[in-house]
Structure 1
């Protein structure tokens, strides 16, 4: 038993928390949440499950940790030049989340679950603090800070989650279809609609096929920010 304890201790010393987190992110990126199991981690890292639990806790705790790690890294890559206005800062924070989710498809679901299940967690608090400070700086009355900030956060997470779904989430969408194929198929289907019954749908077919996701995302933020000015 003593020898086994010494082997476990040596293994824990060699295996770092960062290695586990990095490997977990690799598994999530390649196979989604279903690919991240303690068994898969132990096989990939050639270690025992005890070492995993020792460093990062159980699977749910690990998922929270990797979510925080990815979001923190996304914000760390923000421009070194300080944004000129509160609106610019909100766009920077929002685009950092947009790009992080584009790179890590599983992140959208985890962010939403963080907001719902762990309102005092570092990810939830970090998002609301960074957005909320700028809402205050915009001149929104203090009594409306929570509603205004929640509206922005909900738009940001909802929009980036939709883009993540289009780009390859397996729920109801062909995982092998790329973005161009997805919108091409949608445009073809809309083209078949009766133009007298659906004049708007026919009018936007070209716009839908050619739109830029990031620009559309920023347009949505601009609309929300414009609405917030009426709360002053």
Structure 2
């Protein structure tokens, strides 16, 4: 990563910490308490300096979030590059999608900033490139490749966001578990008029206690199956 230009004047001394340490501590804060906890004051306190020292590295919180996201995506990219080669391009795409999904589930804040600013997110752009390269071995147009990778990213990121979503405050305060939460709504759905809500009545038993990861994998397979059929593979 290129060293940022000095933000507050060339005469000021460089902070004693490094860009890597700033981003590592920022990621730790985000992991612990989410974006609201990431302030320059809190970050500087963890690094042992003043809040003004963070401005040597980034201009504002948005840039800090983008660079921290890219720092973490660097690890995801490294994991993807270690995946064993597959002869089938769709199998390769699936393996990469699952790796990205696991990373976002582990760090729910990641989804909001992934690919938000490719000017500073070089790792994210490289990851996007990696996801797209297998489609070059399929009989698709440029538009179809673009739509295919966009669909895969959408399924991965959207599913990971849904999996990391907290229960409503009232349920959290009561100590209700996830299965009880689903059961509460499943019970209410079963009371609906089946003529007005035939689909809901059809799937309510599947919804009640469903596995979110299984649901994600099913959505990913539907997407990849459609891609395979489109490519005639």
TM value normalised by structure 1: 0.78
Q: Which of 18, 21, 25 in structure 2 is aligned with 1:19?
A: 21
Q: For residues 227 and 202 of structure 1, do their structure 2 counterparts lie closer, same or farther at Cα, with a shift above 3 Å needed?
A: same
Task: Give 1:195 shift.
Answer: 3.1
Task: Give 1:128 shift.
Answer: 2.8
CA deviations on 1:89-142 (whole Å, 9 max, x unpaired) are: 21222122211121112112112xx34x54784255234312211222232234
Task: Give 1:210 shift.
Answer: 3.5
Q: After the TM superposition, which residues 20-39 of structure 1 pair with which residues of structure 2 at under 5 Å, given as runs?
A: 20-39=22-41
1:86 paired to 2:86: no
CA distance in 2, matches of 1:199, 1:123: 46
CA deviations on 1:150-189 (whole Å, 9 max, x unpaired) are: 2322232222222222xx287x885566533432222222
Q: After the TM superposition, which residues 130-145 of structure 1 pair with which residues of structure 2 at under 5 Å, given as runs?
A: 130-145=130-145
Any stretches of 5+ residues in structure 2 without a counterpart?
1-11
CA distance in 2, matches of 1:66, 1:120: 10
CA distance in 2, matches of 1:30, 1:137: 41
Question: Which residue of the partner structure matches residue 61 of structure 2?
Answer: 59
Q: For residues 29 and 99 of structure 1, do their structure 2 counterparts lie closer, same or farther at Cα, with a shift above 3 Å needed?
A: same
TM value normalised by structure 2: 0.78
Q: For residues 182 and 26 of structure 1, do their structure 2 counterparts lie closer, same or farther at Cα, with a shift above 3 Å needed?
A: farther
How many residues are aligned here? 217
Q: For residues 130 and 49 of structure 1, do their structure 2 counterparts lie closer, same or farther at Cα, with a shift above 3 Å needed?
A: same
Question: Which residue of the partner structure matches residue 227 of structure 1?
Answer: 226
Judge conservation of contact 1:75–1:96 (CA < 8 Å) in 2. Answer: no
CA distance in 1, matches of 2:217, 2:172: 26
Question: Which residue of the partner structure matches residue 103 of structure 2?
Answer: 100
CA distance in 1, matches of 2:49, 2:193: 61
Question: Which residue of the partner structure matches residue 149 of structure 1?
Answer: 149
CA distance in 2, matches of 1:19, 1:178: 37
Higher helix share: 1
Any stretches of 5+ residues in structure 1 without a counterpart?
1-7
1:184 paired to 2:202: no
The Cα RMSD (Å) is 2.8
